[in-house]
Structure 1
Amino acid sequence: MSLVVPLNCSLVQPNLYRGSCPREINFPYLRSLNLKYIVSLTPEPLGKDPVLAKFCADNCIEMIHIECSKEKKEKKDKSKPKVKRKKKAVPIEYEVVVECVKFLIDARHYPCYMHCTNGELITSLVVACLRKFSYWGTVSILNEFLAYNSSINIHERSFIENFNSEVEIENLDVKDKVSWITVPHVCVPKGNDSTSMEIARVSSVSNRLPKLRFHSL
């Protein structure tokens, strides 16, 4: 049986895959990944799709929905003149990226497949922000972004460059985080015992980079 990968599908990090919204033709390929989770960055949860829901249930895959690109509907006031409103410059908020980080930092959530509708803009913005936790340079981040998008505008570039949130990580021990996300802490000997270690904070991390704050430290 031939395996058909989703559009724009690729490996982000070990056991973390990205791509477009899965279709039934992609199910054999997704099954071969032994996924634990599918993370959907979509306006509506994919659980409403009975075919996909059955596939996930049959393969013990949990579906996680992180809502984005959903415009809030406002009640129309007919007494007011019509005003044309521009769409958001970037179809995602920093809160969405932070929620993704909180989920993806946990090594117990892998293998995992993350997708938006077409595997392009929204997924690329999340991955670009994730790369900053691995201290990727701006040029490398933007080059990867352009591999999945034909261009990048000033709003998208600004969104990536200005992502420097401090993310609060609760209910997760630092030893359970994925290895490719860097934490501004190091292990140092505890007292005079070289066999016992403790975690110390590194203060030299640039303020322009996002940070993780583990409550377990």
Structure 2
Amino acid sequence: MMSILEPISSITVEKEKEAIDSKDTSPTKPNSSSPSSSCCFESRSSPTHIAINLVPPLNFSLVEDGIYRSGFPMPINYPFLQQLNLKTIIYLGDLGHHQNLRVDKKKKVKKDKDGTMEILNQYIQWIENQNTIKFHNLLVESSREPFNKLEEYEQTLASLTLALQLILNKSNYPILIHSNKGKHRTGLLVGLMRKLLQGWCLSGIFEEYERFAMGKFEYDLELIEIWQPELLVDNDQKPNFVRI
């Protein structure tokens, strides 16, 4: 299982203390010149301005109006995600699935040395605290190598089909699609969306895939090219960019 940990730049916190005229008891108004990039917390006795930089997740990008893609969000990215007013998060990966907790006698159970599961649990708790985001944890196996089992292949296709159905319903927007690094599995779903929902040519799809993946993974590109799932389309809920 690929680690989702990435080097994290620290949050910049600036505190400025200001003197208060004892004759003026009116509260200080927060600076509204850049509401999207900072938050201000103030106290009457000792006003303190705390500016928090909004840091997007790894490989964050706009896909279409109301659809974003990225790598796995870290705690430093949560304030940024709050600005997107997300309704749906689609995670394509292998973390947190009971299928992966089955013990294989031939393999040793790996300990969570890098804190991956701790980060996943913290992320799920943050999502639950928002009260407005539906989280879909869809099991998608890595396609760097051929699928070892038919079960893995079928599960991956079922997850991708569900993800496409979620994208076909505009009531789920805004949507964030992410995997562990925001490269291959996310690129696979976006590539399928470009082909099946928008009718892009394969050359354009592959160019976009490679731009994020920083290289080719033939199994992803082959699946994008040949797979034709049956999708249900509700014309009343269909997003404007969909061409089917």
TM-score when normalising by structure 2: 0.61
d(CA) in 2 for partners of 1:140, 1:4: 29
- Describe the shift of the 1:44–1:153 C-alpha distance in structure 2 as closer, same or farther (beyond 3 A): closer
> Are positions 1:143 and 2:207 aligned together?
yes
Aligned partners of 1:62, 1:149: CA distance in 2, in Å? 27
Residue 91 of structure 2 corresponds to: 40
Deviation of 1:155 after TM superposition, in Å, equals: 2.5
Query: Alpha carbons of 1:44 and 1:55: their partners in 2 closer, same or farther (altered >3 Å)?
Result: same
Contact 1:38 1:62 in 2 (8 A): yes
Q: Does structure 1 residue 181 correspond to structure 2 residue 229?
A: no
Aligned to 2:138: 66
Bigger-Rg structure (1/2): 2
1:88 matched to 2:152: no
| Structure 2 residue aligned with 1:130 | 193
Q: Which residue of 1 aligns with 2:166?
A: 103
Q: Which runs of 4+ in 1 moved over 4 A?
A: none
Cα distance in 2 for partners of 1:56, 1:153 equals: 31
> 1:146-186 CA distances to partner (integer Å, 9 max, x unpaired)?
111122143222111112222235xxx31111111212xxx
- Tell me if structure 1 keeps the 8 A contact 2:138–2:159: yes
SS at match of 1:41: strand
Taking the aligned partners of 2:208 and 2:199, their CA distance within structure 1 comes to 14
- Tell me which moved more, 46-55 or 158-167: 46-55
Q: 1:21 to 1:166 in 2, by over 3 A?
A: same
> How many equivalent residue pairs?
165
Q: Answer with 119-128 or 147-156: which moved more.
A: 147-156
Distance 1:108 1:141 in 2: 26
**Greater mean deviation of Cα atoms: 61-70 or 30-39:** 61-70
CA distance in 2: counterparts of 1:56 and 1:96, whole angstroms: 20
Q: SS at the partner of 1:11?
A: strand
In structure 2, list runs of 5 or more residues that go unmatched: 1-51, 98-116
Q: Which amino acid aligns with 1:144?
A: E
Q: Is the 8 A contact 2:92 2:178 kept in 1?
A: yes
1:54 aligns with 2:114: no
Partner of 2:65: 14
Q: Counterpart amino acid of 2:206?
A: L
Q: CA deviation at 1:87?
A: 5.0
Using the alignment, how far apart are the partners of 1:116 and 1:153 within structure 2? 16
Report the alpha carbon displacement of residue 30 of structure 1 after superposing the two structures with TM: 0.3
Q: Distance in 2 between matches of 1:122 and 1:130?
A: 12
1:168 aligns with 2:228: no
Provide, for residues 93-143 of structure 1, a one-character-per-residue CA deviation record: whole Å limited to 9, x for no partner: 332221111111100001111111111100001100100120111111011
